[in-house]
Structures are given as structure tokens and as C-alpha cells.
Amino acid sequence: MGIFDDFFMRALIGGIGFALVTGPLGCFIVWRRMAYFGDTMAHSALLGVALSFVFNLNLMVGVIAVALMVSFALMILEKRQSLSADALLGILSHSTLALGLVIVSLMTSVRIDLMALLFGDILAVTTADIQMVYGLGAVVLGILIWFWRPLIAATVNVELAQAENMKPQRTRFILMVLLALLIAIAMKIVGILLITALLIIPAATARRFAATPEIMAVLASILGVVAVIGGLYGSLYYDTPSGPSIVVAALVIFLISLVPKNLFGPKNKVAEAPHD
Amino acid sequence: MGDQFKAQEALVRLDKVGVYRDGKWLVRGVSFDVHPKEIVTLIGPNGSGKSTSVKTALGVVQPTEGRVTRRPDLQVGYVPQKFTLDWTLPLPVKRMMNLTKKHRHAEIERALDLVGILHLKSANMQSLSGGETQRALLARALLMQPDLLVLDEPVQGVDFAGEIALYELIKTIRDETGCGILLISHDLHVVMAQTDTVICLNGHVCCRGTPKLVAESDEYKRLFGARAAQSLAVYQHDHDHTHLPDGRVMHADGTIHGHCEHVHETSHEKEHH
């Protein structure tokens, strides 16, 4: 019996693949203060699912298309400067979620597991899902690595990047597309309400221990993987929902990282904090 | 002065550039060019459009009217006026040097040594003082081996002694690399003595000329001392006209014109339109 035959192993493998991608992408979300933006795109995924059923589209295609449309709508609305960016995000975030819920409830012909969409159903991950996670995940990571220098340059200083021909306007577009792809991947793993948590918490945890952007990105991936493993075993042991358990595990790691390095004082060498 | 550069193709040329944002003209009718080995300094009061003009030259800001021509494959080294970095992004000085292009370790050390902050190579960009940040940004721009070095208020946050040293360094860079330099002076009156062309902006080009004669003036030496006069120069002029809200200009004699560009006493160029 191969490891793919066991539902728990499939969940672990799928979750780890997902966490590897959220690390570096999550760093950009944190650096560029795009947390609410990411949340809005994630919430629009439910509308994407609903519209996929209405128009009989592939689920992934529908989710990616709607997420991109929402982010473009945001860009256009921001340019008009009629409302502040966070007010616009609030409107789009919750109205797309609500619209999705309404459309799903109107469809009597199909039954959709709403809880699985909102909070993920990682234990139901199939071998095909794993292939999708690793295939799309490799594409996302590949694009990130390929455009790494211009992405960092545009994040550090837009004008400098523009003056030295790094095409910073392209980087925001790239990040939006990658985020849309990740959301499509994430639906099965943690669900659309918890995607942003796995983007932000490992990256925020990694910040304290990282000296360069590259180290922070790798560390965020590793911490994400630890959270997935910890969360899944935790959910197995305590019989808790798997998606939220992964986020709770990430939170626990984050809280541990907040403990001051010299909490136990220099006189008590034995109890020295494990990290440093 | 200045004619020696005209033989070569301009690195960047602004032709009657205007930028209109949020219901008003930030700059209008700005024309100048920067040639290889030429040092062009923009001066003018706050809000006179110095940064806007430079950003237009760089392609960071798109002009509403007029034309900007950059030499094909122009390599720019840019030192922005403001550099703020989110705390969440860890960025040591040596990593900052590789921001837009990867350089060899030895080259990075040499550039940091040149601007005097080699000891800070592992420090985080966020922990640097204003003057140190400027030096780091200058080192990074130098590493690009630019054809055109653009410095937006390079001496802000630098003390007076450091200011002279930094200007000396800019001159050395020009002499050694032959790049063109476009810089904005943070002080309306003080510009580098090595400046070939001073352009005074006030929403448009007020006047332009060489700073040489002013640097030799007794008044300047009294203000800054003979030692500083070797490095710095004062470029003074009287505003003999008033800018009307619609962008036109009323001269001292009461006449109104669409523009006010005129030849300054110290100018050897013939710039009359």
C-alpha cells in the first residue's frame, strides 16, 4: 500500500505542498501590506465557485477568473479615489462572499458542501488534488523565483525600481495572478476564510529570525510546513477540524516566537529559549 | 560653458514638458537636457517641481504634454529623495546593493568604502541615519555603473563637512566614469561649483546658467569661507516677475507673457525663446 492510499498521508502531503508556496508569497503580502487585499481576493473565491456552477465552468477556472476580476475592479476603483482603499476592500470582500452564498443557496440542482469551501476539507484531498497542488504550486514558486529581483526591488522602492527599468507596475499584476492561483489551490486545504491566515502568520513569525528577504521567505515556508504537520496531527489527536487546527498551530508557533529571547534571564542557562 | 557637451547625444532630453495632476500644473514648459560628463543642478523653492521634473526625466512620472527622450539602453543610477522601508522587510545594506542588479562582493565593498559606510554593510537599512541612508543609496547607484546618475537632494541629513565631501565624491565619479549627473539641490542658494548648468525651477524654468561667477563673489566667501568656495557655489538671482495662477507670467514692467525663461547675468548660454 502506497502512501497515497492513506487519507491522512494525502492530507499531509497536500498541506505541505501548499505551505511551501504560501511562505514566500505570504512574505510579499506582509511586506506590501496587502493582507486585506488577499482576504478580499480569497472571499471572492466563493462567488467564483457559485458562478462556475451557474455557467458550468471548471471550478478552478471560475475561482481564478473571479479573483482576478475583483483585483482589477479594485485597481480601477482605487484610481478614481472616491473611497479609501480599505473601504473599497471592505465592500468587495463581503459583498462577493455574500453574493456567492446567495447564488449557492438559489441553486437547487446542485448540492455544495459550504463548510468544506469555507473552512477546507484537507482530509478529503485526493491524489488528483495533490497533483494539482504540486503542479500549480511549482508554477507559482517558479514565477516567484524568476521575477524575484524585480519583485523585491518594487517592494523596497517603486520609484527606484521604475527608474532602473524593473517595471514595477508588472510586479503588482504578477502578485495578483499568483495570489489568485494560490487561492484556487487553497480552497481544498484550509478553505477560503483561512487562506490569509496561512499567508500572513508564518511570514510574520519568520520576520524575527530573518536577516534577509530570501531567508525570511524560506523560513516562512518551513514554519508553514511545521504548522501543517502540527495542525494535522493535532486534529487527529483531538478530533478537531483540520483547516482551523492548522491555523491554530501556526498561531501557537507565532506566539512562541514572541517570547523574549532573555525571558528566563542569563542566570538560568538551563531554561534558555530554544530559538536564537 | 555648456557648449562642449552639445556635440554629444543627450542622455536625456525634456522638451516643453508639463505635468498636470489633481487640477493643477505641477510643472509646465520645462526643457533641459543632460549630456555625458555634464553636471546639471536643479534648484528652486519647495513645490517648484524639481522632483517632478526629475521623475519625468526618469520615466517614473508620465508627462501630460511635451516630450521626454532618453538615449536607448540608458543605464540610470537613481538616488531617490525619500527612502522609507517597512519594518517587516529585513534588508541589510549589502543586500540593498543588489536591489536591481547583482554585483560582485568585492565591487560592493569598494562602493561602500568609497562612500564611507563599509562598516555598516551588515546593518539593516532601517537602522541607518539619514546621512548613512543617503550614502548607501549613492553606493548602490554607483554600482549600476550608470550613464546617467540622478540624485534627488543627495546631501539631505548630511552635515556640512559631509556635504562638501559628498559633492567632491560626485565630482570624482563624474571625472572617473564620464557619466552625466542630474541632481536636485536641497538648498535654493548652494550648488556644487562643478555644476555645469544650474536650472532654477518655479513651476517652469525661471533661468539657467553657470554658478562660476557667483562662487567667486565676495559675498559668498563671506558666507561660507574660502575653503568651501572651492567646493560650493552660490547661484543668486532676483525674481523680476510674478507667476499668475493661470501659469502665465507678469514681468516687473507689467507685461504678461506665456512664459518667462530668460538669460541670467551669469549665463553664457543663449537660451532665449
Going by the DSSP 8-state scheme, the letter that residue A261 receives in this structure is T
Q: pLDDT of A34-71, one tens digit each?
A: 889 898 999 999 999 889 888 888 888 899 999 999 98
Kind of pairing, strands B180-184 and B39-43? parallel
pLDDT at B199: 81
Q: How far apart are CA B91 and CA B81, in angstroms?
A: 19
Q: pLDDT of B22-71, one tens digit each?
A: 888 898 889 999 999 999 988 777 778 888 999 999 988 999 999 999 99
Of chain A, the end-to-end C-alpha distance in Å amounts to: 41
Task: Please determine, for residue B7, whether its predicted confidence score (pLDDT) is greater than 80.
Answer: no
Would you say residue A276 lies in a domain?
A: no
pLDDT at B272: 41
Would you say residue A125 lies in a domain?
A: yes
How much is the pTM?
0.82
ipTM of predicted complex: 0.82
Residue A81 in contact with partner chain B when CB distance is under 8 A: no
Overall number of domains in chain A:
1
Would you say residue A127 lies in a domain?
A: yes
Contacting residues of B for A159, CB less than 8 Å apart? 55, 58, 60, 78, 80
Residue A205 in contact with partner chain B when CB distance is under 8 A: no
**Nearest-CB residue to B91 (from A149, A160, A213):** A213
Would you say residue A126 lies in a domain?
A: yes
pLDDT at B233: 46
pLDDT at B129: 86
Point out the least confidently predicted range of A107-111, B193-197, B257-261: B257-261
Q: How far apart are CA A105 and CA A100, in angstroms?
A: 9
Classify domain B1-75+147-237+253-273 by CATH number.
Answer: 3.40.50.300
Domain of A236, CATH number, reads 1.10.3470.10
Cell numbers for A170: 508588472
Q: State the residue range of the domain holding A166.
A: 3-257
Residue B238 in contact with partner chain A when CB distance is under 8 A: no
Would you say residue A265 lies in a domain?
A: no
Binary contact (B88, A30; C-beta < 8 A): yes
Residues B124-137, mean pLDDT to the nearest whole number: 90
Residues B233-255, mean pLDDT to the nearest whole number: 51
A136 half-sphere exposure, CB direction, 13 A CA radius: 22
Domain boundaries, chain B: 1-75+147-237+253-273, 84-145
Would you say residue A274 lies in a domain?
A: no
Contacting residues of B for A207, CB less than 8 Å apart? 88, 90
On average, the pLDDT of chain A sits at 87
Q: Which of A162, A188, A143, A168 is nearest to A24 (CA)?
A: A143
